[in-house]
């Protein structure tokens, strides 16, 4: 099927019971991650928050402090032992332990997990669990390992790449917490473009690729990744490490001002025959409010559809 006839989608995170978007608006998101309710500044949420929303349970707030800088303000309600569980819904889920992810606050609003990605976690877990053969996954810009661990949990062999040692250490802690220490995961600290070029020279191939590049990133050696400038080259390289019997491909984009069509068209440049699903990953406010918050654009497809 030709990709130009498909329509954009707004994927909603589902099945992640330890996460709730309690409200949004007035430049903030109010969210519950497991035991902690947090409030985080988001400059894009320029509409009104729900008038009756209660902020009584907030344990930590990321907002402009007295210095004028954005920082975290944590109070006595904050539970330091901060973890969330996630159980993908596939055939054998009931017999399996959930994944466990550690969360934490640092200098930025990032707490180590992007809950909207649950839309992809469920999709990829299903693809891997129902595949006819073992799926060998390459996860580029893998961060604290959520997608890598979901893939391993579902039965895949995983190669996880990120340029930050701190992110890789965090991902390994999540691996231990999730009881996946024996799972076949290679943790690689490298610049993604450099790594994929090396894999091409070594004739290594993968059945599935997950690509979650930031709008802008810099590695320990000062090499930068700028989405608008570098993504097309990286996609061309990624195409060269796809195996002859591939399973799936996922890409996200956080680049400001680039639409979902740009994300899809970039992917279609490399795989013009693929039946690409694309659109936005969203979070939905809890039931009584129900508004959608857009988080990033995505394009994904299964090679055999």
Ligand X SMILES: C[S@@+](CC[C@H](N)C(=O)[O-])C[C@H]1O[C@@H](n2cnc3c(N)ncnc32)[C@H](O)[C@@H]1O
CB of 146 to ligand X, least distance (A): 5
Residue-by-residue DSSP string for 179-225: T-TTS-EEEEES-HHHHHHHHHHTT--BSEEEE---SEEE-TT--EE
Three-state secondary structure readout of 163-188: CCHHHHHHHHHHHHHCCCCCCCEEEE
CB of 142 to ligand X, least distance (A): 6
CB of 121 to ligand X, least distance (A): 9
CB-closest chain residue to ligand X = 217
> CA 110, CA 263: separation in Å to the nearest integer?
23
Maximum distance among all Cα pairs of the chain, rounded to whole angstroms: 59
Output 136 or 193, the one with its CB closest to ligand X: 193
* 279 closest CA partner among 295, 257, 290: 295
Output 88 or 217, the one with its CB closest to ligand X: 217
* Cα 9 to the center of its chain, rounded Å: 17
CB of 4 to ligand X, least distance (A): 28
Residues lying near ligand X in the complex (CB under 6 A) are found at: 113-114, 117, 141-144, 146-147, 161-164, 167, 191-192, 212, 214, 217, 219, 225
Output 36 or 164, the one with its CB closest to ligand X: 164
CB 184 within 8 A of CB 98: no
Output 141 or 248, the one with its CB closest to ligand X: 141
Output 28 or 114, the one with its CB closest to ligand X: 114
Q: Which residue has the tokens 């795989």?
A: 271
CB of 189 to ligand X, least distance (A): 8
Output 115 or 246, the one with its CB closest to ligand X: 115
CB of 27 to ligand X, least distance (A): 21
> CA 35, CA 37: separation in Å to the nearest integer?
7
């Amino acid at each position: 099927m030709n990709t130009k006839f498909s329509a954009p989608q707004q994927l909603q995170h589902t099945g992640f019971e330890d996460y709730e978007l309690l409200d949004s608006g007035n430049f903030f998101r109010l969210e519950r991650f497991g035991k902690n309710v947090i409030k985080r500044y988001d400059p894009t949420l320029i509409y009104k928050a729900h008038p009756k929303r209660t902020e009584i349970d907030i344990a930590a707030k990321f907002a402009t402090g007295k210095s004028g800088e954005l920082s975290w303000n944590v109070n006595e309600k904050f539970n330091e032992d901060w973890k969330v569980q996630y159980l993908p819904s596939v055939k054998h889920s009931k017999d399996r332990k959930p994944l466990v992810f550690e969360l934490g606050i640092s200098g930025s609003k990032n707490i180590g997990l992007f809950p909207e990605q649950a839309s992809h976690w469920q999709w990829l877990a299903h693809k891997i669990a129902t595949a006819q053969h073992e799926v060998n996954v390459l996860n580029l810009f893998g961060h604290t390992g959520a997608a890598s661990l979901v893939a391993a949990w579902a039965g895949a062999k995983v190669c996880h790449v990120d340029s930050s040692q701190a992110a890789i250490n965090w991902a390994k802690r999540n691996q231990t917490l999730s009881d996946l220490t024996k799972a076949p995961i290679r943790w690689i600290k490298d610049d993604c473009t450099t790594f994929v070029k090396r894999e091409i020279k070594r004739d290594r191939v993968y059945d599935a690729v997950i690509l979650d590049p930031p709008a802008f990133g810099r590695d320990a050696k000062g090499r930068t990744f700028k989405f608008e400038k570098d993504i097309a080259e990286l996609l061309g390289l990624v195409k060269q490490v796809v195996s002859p019997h591939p399973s799936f491909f996922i890409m996200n984009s956080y680049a400001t001002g680039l639409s979902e069509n740009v994300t899809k068209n970039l992917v279609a440049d490399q795989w013009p025959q693929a039946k690409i699903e694309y659109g936005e990953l969203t979070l939905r406010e809890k039931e009584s409010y129900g508004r959608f918050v857009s988080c990033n654009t995505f394009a994904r497809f299964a090679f055999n559809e």
